[in-house]
Structure 1
C-alpha cells in the first residue's frame, strides 16, 4: 500500500507508475487534489481520438477512491478515453470493502433524500391544490357578500332618503315594484330556459328510441330475409331431387304417365 505524505511532490519523476488496472478501462470520477494535478508535458502516450497529453488525477469513485492515476481529460461531448497508467496500486481488500460499503451507504442516503424530496413535493402539491380550492371558495363567498352588502347599502340609503322626504313615497314604491318585477322576470327566464333544456332532453331521448326501433326493425328484417333465403335454397334442392325422381319414373314407365307429366309441369312452373 503506498504511503501518503503531505510533503510529497507531484513531479513525474518521484511517482512510481503501476501497471494499468484492466478492470477499469474507463476513467473514474475524480476529485481536485492540489498536490497531484496538472498535465504531463514529457509523456509520450497521447489520446488517440483527440491527440492530448495525459493529466494527473485522483480517483473519487468506488473501491479506487484516493488512487492517483494518469488519464486523458473528458471531452465536452462526454467522450471518456480512459486511464493511461495508475500511480498507486490497488488498496488492500479490507480497505476496498470499507470503501465499497461507504459508497453504498452514500448512494442509499442519496436515494432516501430523493424519495423524501419526491414525497415532500407531492405533499406540497396536494396542500397547494387544497389551498387554491379553499381560496377560490372564499373568493366566491366574498363576492357574494360584497353584492349583498352593496344591495343592503342601497336599500338602507333609499329608506333613509324616503324617511327624510328627499324621495317621494310613490317613486320609492315604484323602484321596489321594478326590482320585484325584474326579479320575477329573471325567475321566469330561468324557468323557461330550464323547460327548453328539458324539452331538448326529451326530444333527444325520443330520437334515440326511434333510432333504436329502426335498428331493431332493420335487424329483424335482415334476419327474416336470411331465413327466407335458407328456405328458398332448401326448396330449390328438394325441387331438383323431385325432378330427378320424376325423370327416372318417366324413363322407366312406372305409374300414370299423365299424372307424372302434370307433376313435371307443376315443378317447371
Structure 2
C-alpha cells in the first residue's frame, strides 16, 4: 500500500532508539526525508546510520525537548536542511515510575516540561506553516495510561492524559486547515524502558503472557501505526487516541 507521503519532511523527537527510531524508520521506508532529535550524541549518530539505509535524506539534531528553547531550534534547523516540517512525531521518554507519595515537586516539574510542554512547544513551532500550506500531520506518542491509570506511574498517568486532551482539542481546531492531529497509546512494547521496569527476562516474558496476543509488542509495530496516521490513507482519521497494546486494555470506549 502506498501511503502517499513520499517526499514529505518528517521530524521525530526521541528518535535515536525505541519507538521514536522505529517511527522514523517507518516514515523513511515510505519515502520521507527525516530529521531525528535526541539527547545522546552517540545513539543519535547510530540512528542516522540506520536510517540512511532507506536512501532518503536524514538529518539529526542534538536537543532535549525539556529545554524551552529546543523546539523552535529543532524546527528551524529541520526547515533549513530538509524543508518545512510536514509530519511531526512528538515522542519523549516516559517519566520515572513512582506512587504519588514517592515523587516530589521537582519530579512533577520535569515530567510536565518533558511530556506535556515539550510536546506543546513542538506543535507551536511547526503548526503555522502546516496550516499555511494546507497539509500537515501531528502524531503524539503517549501511553495506554491515557485510557486507564497504571499503578505506580502517577507522573505518566497525569502528563500523558494532558497531551491527549491537547490532541483532541487541537484536532477540532485545525482539521479544517488540512492538519490532522492524532495520538498513539502504546501498551507493553519491548523497549529499554519496559526492560528497566520489568527487571529481567523472566519478568518480561511474564508481562507478555498477560497480553491477549501472548507477547509484548515490538517497536516497529508502533512505528508502522505512526506512519499510517501520518499518511494520506488516514485522511479521515483525526483526534483519535489509538491503543497499540495487543488488546490488553479493558476499556470499551
Q: TM-score, normalised by structure 1?
A: 0.18
More strand by share: 2
Q: Relative contact order, CA 8 A, sep 6+: which one is greater?
A: 2
More helix by share: 1
Q: TM-score, normalised by structure 2?
A: 0.18
Which structure has the larger Rg over C-alpha atoms?
1
